[in-house]
Structure 1
Amino acid sequence: MTEHTRAAIVTGASRGIGREVAIRLAAEGHAVAVGYAGRKDLAEDVVRTVEAAGGRAVAVRADVADEHDVAALFDAAETAFGGVDVVAHAAGRMVLSTVADLDLADLDDLHRTNIRGTFVVAQQAARRLRSGGTLITFSTSVVGLALPSYGAYSASKGAVEALTMILARELRGRDVTVNAIAPGPTATDLFLDGKDEETVARLAAQPSLERLGTPADIAGVAAFLASEQGHWVNGQVVRANGGIV
């Protein structure tokens, strides 16, 4: 690993898993660009949290599917911190519906954020990550579980996994790792929205560890993949789900 101060970009960092990843990477010594789409107030709260703990952070607005916004996000991180060593692409969208009933406009929005957004961020990461760096994308354990109503969402995340595996091989010789984290049911606003207590309890009982994951659980996996200790892990989908089979 090189001796410079390591810097990270985290998308979707104003809330949920992205927020915890940003705070955890800062705690591990990374300067962090807190990427957000709309909630500037929440992103600035993450910056204050990082700074209060002695870290460095900046909030940068970017639509992850807009290549100009994402290029500007990387520019901002490079200007503030001198370069980019870690990209954790946590921004995502979820729409639940049966295949028969899905509004195709929702499908287009989902794919714009989850597939195009991941591709745009991965493209900039592939061009700009410094030697010793890592790209972390986010899939979902639902890809392997084939749950009804998750068809469009799971299909978009299957695309993320395919892209991640290929990019890991394309970056041969760069000393840059590329991995996907595939969380199971995790207690975030995105996950809990629209679910009644019975549904949440049923999903929490699925893992062998018999609870929902927390954003901190997932952030710990991201921190490991971003660390020197995790650098031998490359081209993998890490199913962080408490033992769902």
Structure 2
Amino acid sequence: MPEPTPPIPSTCDEQLLCSLGPGFSLAGSDPGRLARIRDEVAYGFAALAEIENAVSIFGSARTPPDHPHYKLARAIAARLGALGFDIITGGGPGIMEAANLGARNAGVRSIGLGIELAHELGTNPFVDLKLRFNYFFVRKLMFVRYASAFVVFPGGFGTLDELFEALTLIQTEKIRHFPIVLTGSQHWSGLERWIRERLLEPGMVSADDAELLVLADDPDEIGELIAHWRHRQLETYRPSPS
């Protein structure tokens, strides 16, 4: 008789988001949960308070070290580091590891924002500043709040989630002057075409929206683009008192 499959550990996000059946209520545990969320946001703000110029790099955790994208992520992170940008990743393997390695080689902060998962990926050995979050939305806040740009490599659902959430924030002007660079042009060209044919032509997005994504593969070009946008950010952005 086969052994029973061990239960998947419950995560904080699952406890927050999932109802467990008829008559179940989260209300009794919400005050404590809200306090933990507040503490987690404060933890991230305090740990990252000194980050002024950074780029968040996303991509597949399954990219092996001998893949061209791994080598390219390392090179781009190193180039951005030479321009004074710290590097933020999810702290895991694959593209994240490559970017953290490039940051370390460039002598800038190599930051990994880990997340509690049912099946842990672990932290790559090239992270110098390691944070671990229980809630996805708190972690996402850190990726955007402390970055001047996103560089997005081919990846799975998590990569696409970060990409389209950032696009939504830009489109709705929740964030401004924020470049999103898609690296691995051959991979992303189909998405760009789909956006133009299926979203722009029927009028679901504007022409400006369709221009929010930049396809680029050259580390020097990407570095120059992001440095230009960062200069523009610093010149034009005036935060409100609140």
Larger radius of gyration: 2
The TM-score normalised by the length of structure 2 is: 0.44
The TM-score normalised by the length of structure 1 is: 0.44
